[in-house]
A and B are shown apart, each in its own frame.
Chain A
């Protein structure tokens, strides 16, 4: 069972700490959004009280992007460049490889017919302290709530290779991909458990369960 988020109810999941605070790292998740309108946050590694953030999100109806900003500094945003469809599970992988380089991969990237984009803005290193799923703290408030399903959230403290990204996009669960570097893994199969780092995950405003994405468990 994936988790279903409803923006109108401000539903999201969060932790009070994060196992990774700086590059290099990789975020992977699966999303399925019936409506692609507005800014919808998938996974955020953030401070929770400033604009220090690494954010995997959607915007402008059909665009997927990865955004990095240090409070008071420049932001780096992969921008759109590629689109995805409503009511269809997609895999999104964000890589922060350095303060001046980040990439976003949709459905495995170009290696298997997906899409990918890279941004090289030097943002400096954001000061982050927690993980949010389905929302983000930015510009003084919590918002960017997701409307839809999110599942299989994994964070590694390395940049995964192309083959590893392809494995994830083809449905392998996060724990099967370079497990020694996996630092956070929330399958979101009904139970809220970080199977790797043991972080407590809080369900804010009663996000509900829904049909899971296709995985090789």
Chain B
């Protein structure tokens, strides 16, 4: 279920996603799991895996500074190490039979030193494929597990995603 958008003067939260809204790619997909009955998406620590979410940019959205993608996630077991997250956006105005994601942006985030405490990681995305208000879009969230900077052992569990204005 897609949450309601909260906007004031074109800025604010555009949409939020949870694991059950994932529209997984055909290969290299993050896998559905639960933790304390909370649905999560597991991203492997040795193989790059992806999740994809779809929504519509709300009316009156201000996109001049791009978007901020906020990831809420936890390590399955690790209490040390860094996780490299990437996000990329595709404007749905081209042939949907082929992917056309814009250039991804990354963030390297340290996991909490306490098991089970969620981490909040924000990535500013300026390459938003020229998306405008009213456009359908897909957001791809990736753990770049093969990056030398990704040092966190075990799965990363994605709990929720927020898309907000960067303005």
Contacts and interface: CB of A to CB of B under 8 A. Distances in A.
Interface string A190-203: 11000000000000
A217 B22 contact: yes
Contacts of A191: 34, 37
A204 interface: no
Interface of B: 19-20, 22-24, 26, 29, 31-34, 37, 39, 42, 44
9 contacts: A189-B32, A190-B33, A191-B34, A212-B31, A212-B33, A215-B32, A216-B22, A217-B20, A217-B32
A171 interface: yes
A189 B19 contact: no
Contacts, number: 35
Nearest to A152: B32
B33 A189 contact: yes
B37 A1 contact: no
A1 B23 contact: no
Nearest to B23: A216
A214 interface: yes
B103 to A, nearest CB: 26
A120 interface: no
A214 B26 contact: yes
B164 to A, nearest CB: 24
A211 B34 contact: no
A216 B42 contact: no
For A189, A209, A213, A214, the residue with the greatest tally of chain B CB atoms inside 10 Å of its CB is A214
Contacts of A216: 22-24
